[in-house]
Amino acid sequence: MQILLFGKTGQVATELQRNTHLGIEIMALGRNEADLSKPDVCANIIKEHSADVIINAAAYTLVDQAETEIALANIINGESPSRMAEAAALKNIPFIHISTDYVFNGHGQEAWKPGDESEPLNAYGRSKLYGEEGVCAAGGPYVILRTSWVFSAYGQNFVKTMLYLSKTHNTLRIVDDQIGGPTAASDIATACLIIAKELYSGRKVSGTYHFSGSPDVSWADFAREIFAQTGRKITVENISTSDFPSAAKRPLNSRLNCITLNSFFGIERPNWRASLNNVLKDLQEI
């Protein structure tokens, strides 16, 4: 099985390239080869390539900056995935697209189901919803995999930020009223490969699915676990979202209901604490 992968240097794409299995060949494209700010270029690459499955792990992820770069976020997260999915549909190539819990408004405490109404709070979420709608409308075999709070030993993420800040701070004030499931990029990569194999085999499982780590926690409790596993004596003080103003509104409820992913693909929610331990080991080796 040949996979054409967009977003070569991102967290999930990096893990996909590290965790390939026997019989799977990955052609990874970075921004130099496939710039998602140029939808025609990305669509043409798919038209000219003979991949068995396409995975789009590229995205505009600067949540606050998206508030002032709305057009660019919409192109990268919306128009390009839509055009790519259309090109894939013309060749009947399965298209896997990674999305986010930010397509929801974050109200309530119930875990969001794939079919729940989307109502993004910010420009980033709206751009990702734009992409989802385009992928669905393309008409080919597809899976949209929504996930949350991605972390790894690579790129920028909450784990690495906490470790960096702990070098110069004894106390950190962390938001405790946003709740979600931290998700290791390596676990997302594994899920993508399982899904890719099923789509490649011809199973008609197109749709939107949720995948996040378990159990759901606050950012503050996530930070406490990071420091506990690294043995760092850092005091974490709980604060509310309103105490930490930002350009973009964040959802308070990022819980994702992952039952359908398990039902259709046999993929269970991973224990993020165990995955965190693996990431921390990777960081020691880098």
Q: What are the catalytic residues?
A: 124
162 and 221 in contact (C-beta within 8 Å)?
Answer: no
Q: How far apart are CA 20 and CA 46, in angstroms?
A: 21
List alpha helices for 70-184, DSSP H. Answer: 70-74, 80-90, 123-137, 158-165
Q: Which of 43, 105, 51, 102 is nearest to 75 (CA)?
A: 43
φ/ψ of residue 248, rounded to 5:
-110, 140
Question: Quick count: other Cβ atoms within 10 Å of Cβ 3?
Answer: 22
Helix%, strand%, coil% for the chain, nearest 5: 40, 20, 40
Strand 179-180 versus strand 217-218 pairing type: antiparallel
Is the peptide bond between 215 and the residue preceding it cis, with omega within 30 degrees of 0?
yes
Tokens read off for 22: 């026997």
Coil vs helix vs strand at 207 = strand
Q: Which residues pair with 146 in a beta bridge?
A: 99, 210
142 and 188 in contact (C-beta within 8 Å)?
Answer: no
φ/ψ of residue 263, rounded to 5:
-65, -40
